[in-house]
Amino acid sequence: MSNIGIASSAHVLDHPIWSALNGTQKALAEGGVLARRYPVDVAPFAALRDNSAECFTALARPMTLGDRAALCTIEPVEPPEGFEVLMARKGDQMIGVPADIPANSAEIVELGEEDVAAMMELADLTKPGPFNTRTHSLGTFLGIRVAGRLAAMAGERMRPGRYTEITAVCTHPDHRGHGYAQVLLGEVARRIHGRDEIPFLHVFSDNHAAIGLYRRLGMHTRRQLHFTALGLASRSIVGPPRQGR
């Protein structure tokens, strides 16, 4: 197994999770110098200093058999024995400020703690990516309601350096075709840009419809990355869980 690490690439977006958890979002980081992750109720994302055995062991240490760790890497991940690959897909990392998004008469609202149940329901239905009970705490989330119900949303997630990721761009199937997602995407991006930060997002490389939309809105693909979700096949990689004192 090659030992490709963070030092092999200097750009923060080549290792967005590691960069965020060692920078702007360091206060959220769980772990240490070998492996870091977001709290599980915030996001499943984790990152390794490199792909050495000791880093994978550090990643596995706090995991239970039901946990998953989602990695975003330049090269494909080949985990050691003791892990199982739950998902392995290529993704496009797109960057830019969406422009020329048509106006929409729908009212955009900021979403907060009282909206978590509705946000999780919409995310579970539309599958825009990982979304949990505290994902909304990572940044501003905006929504559009129709007849009092959440019809569409978009928000902010990882913050590596001066870059802020747009995430959870989704619309309820009953309300598609009205341009809600585009309007929200544009507003989130404008707010990011207004803070002198640079918007970016991730989309699976085989989601040609979404990539085409983002390109038409003025974003471009910076590079492809590998997204890998890992679970533990057994606890043998780190031994039995530690018992309390």
| Cα(202)–Cα(141) distance, integer angstroms | 17
pLDDT exceeds 50 at position 25 = yes
Q: Taking residues 153-169, what's their average pLDDT?
A: 97
Question: Does 3.90.870.10 match the CATH number of domain 6-92+226-237?
Answer: no
| Cα(10)–Cα(226) distance, integer angstroms | 17
State the chain's mean pLDDT as an integer: 91
pLDDT category at 241 given cuts 50, 70, 90 is: very low
Phi, psi values for residue 110, rounded to 5°: -80, 135
Q: 43, 138 in Cβ contact below 8 A?
A: yes
In percent, the amount of the chain with pLDDT more than 70 equals 89
Helix (H, G, I), strand (E, B) or coil at 48: strand
Greatest C-alpha distance within the chain: 60
| Cα(239)–Cα(136) distance, integer angstroms | 34
Strand partners, 229: 70, 87
* Alpha helix segments (H runs only) across the chain: 16-21, 53-60, 116-126, 180-194, 208-216
Q: What is the DSSP string of 60-110?
A: HTT--TT--EEEEESS---PPBTEEEEEEEEEEEEES----PPP-SSPEEE
| pLDDT at 244 (0 to 100) | 40
Query: Higher pLDDT residue, 100 or 177?
Result: 177
pLDDT exceeds 60 at position 147 = yes
Round the CA-based radius of gyration of the chain to a whole number and report it: 18
Q: What fold, for 94-221? A: Aminopeptidase (3.40.630)
Give the closest residue to 123 by CA, choosing from 138, 109, 143, 137. Answer: 143
Residue ranges per structural domain of the chain: 6-92+226-237, 94-221
Q: 6-92+226-237 and 94-221: same fold?
A: yes
Which pLDDT tens digit goes with each residue over 111-139?
999 999 999 999 999 999 999 999 999 99
- What Å distances lie between residue 203 and 223, 229, 239, CA to CA? 11, 15, 36
pLDDT category at 216 given cuts 50, 70, 90 is: confident
Which pLDDT tens digit goes with each residue over 64-90?
988 999 999 999 999 999 999 999 999
